[in-house]
């Protein structure tokens, strides 16, 4: 019975949606046209290695130097919009 309740809830959410994009995605998934591959292979992970204090300090020093150059106009920074787009 849980499956039937879940299906009914999902159907209600789909019927209440006003997003054409969402409805198109649901249709694609139902018809197997989705670009999402359900059987994905786990990527090889690089094991985490903690950074040393000197590595952190070197990176901080480099960042401060870059900020100083940008303030002085000797280097060009990136806009907040470009920064967010990179994320």
Q: How do residues 2-29 score in pLDDT, each as one tens digit?
A: 888 888 888 888 888 888 888 888 888 8
Identify the sign of the CA torsion 19, 21, 22, 27: positive
| Angstrom distance (rounded) from CA 77 to CA 33 | 42
Q: Please, is 3 exposed, middle or buried when counting C-beta atoms within 10 Å of its C-beta (0-12, 13-18, 19+)?
A: exposed
Single pTM value for the model: 0.42
pLDDT band at 84 (very low <50, low <70, confident <90, very high): confident
> For the segment 17-69, what is each residue's pLDDT rounded down to a tens digit?
888 888 888 888 888 765 555 555 566 677 888 999 999 999 999 999 999 99
Residue 37 confidence (pLDDT) = 54
Helix boundaries (H) for 2-78? 2-16, 20-30, 53-71
């Amino acid at each position: 019975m849980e499956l039937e309740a879940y299906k009914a809830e999902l159907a209600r959410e789909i019927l209440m949606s006003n997003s054409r994009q969402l409805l198109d995605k649901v249709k694609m998934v139902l018809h197997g046209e989705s670009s999402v591959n359900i059987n994905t292979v786990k990527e090889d992970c690089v094991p985490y290695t903690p950074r040393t204090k000197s590595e952190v300090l070197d990176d901080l020093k480099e960042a401060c130097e870059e900020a100083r150059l940008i303030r002085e106009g000797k280097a060009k920074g990136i806009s907040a919009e470009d920064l967010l787009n990179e994320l």
